[in-house]
Amino acid sequence: MKVLVSACLLGLDCRYCGTGKYIHELKSLSKEHQFIPVCPEQLGGLPTPRNPVELREGRAVEQDGTDRTEQFSKGAAESLKLAEYFECKTAILKANSPSCGYGQIYDGTFNGKLKAGKGLTSELLHKKGIKIFTEESLDEFIAYAKRIG
Ligand code: SF4
């Protein structure tokens, strides 16, 4: 199966803080599935490292209110292009991120609290019918991949 994957989960140092978030279990899954790495925030033109961003009322903002929605939206659109080019119908994205989070994201207060929601890239991919998992739901991904063959 072709799977769009948040690049930080594969160990690329593309997070806002300049590190990755390597998930060891993905290494074995990459033997069975074709992973297409993507970092929406870099694709949107933001530097690494960069200031943290959270979503407030649908806008992507830094703690001081600097608006990064344009870059986040561009990153989402570029990620969708890659998903479509490689015909990915499934994605494994980084939990809680304002771009990649799915189900829960940081709540916009920069206090480490979560709220229900999706990141801007996850939202767009979801709207386009791409099935999304996170590194916290890999068991569900494995069961899903077995089910659809
Ligand atoms: S935008 Fe997504 S892929 Fe890039 S660092 Fe953030 S969570 Fe990882």
pLDDT digits (tens, 9 = 90+) for 116-138: 999 999 999 999 999 999 999 99
Residues found in the chain? 149
- pLDDT in the model for residue 41: 98
11: left (phi over 0), alpha (psi -120 to 50) or beta: left
Distance CA 96, CA 64 (A): 20
What are the φ/ψ torsions at residue 7 (nearest 5 degrees)?
A: -60, -30
Instruction: List the residue whose alpha carbon is closest to atom 6 of ligand 1.
Output: 15
Mutate to test the pocket of ligand 1, among 39, 46, 105, 133 (most ligand atoms within 8 A of CB): 39
pTM over 0.85? The answer is: yes
Distance CA 113, CA 90 (A): 27
Check pLDDT > 80 for residue 149.
no
- Ligand 1: residues with CB < 6 A are 6-8, 14-15, 39-41, 94, 97, 99-100
Q: What's the whole-number mean pLDDT along residues 136-145?
A: 98
Q: What's the whole-number mean pLDDT along residues 58-63?
A: 97
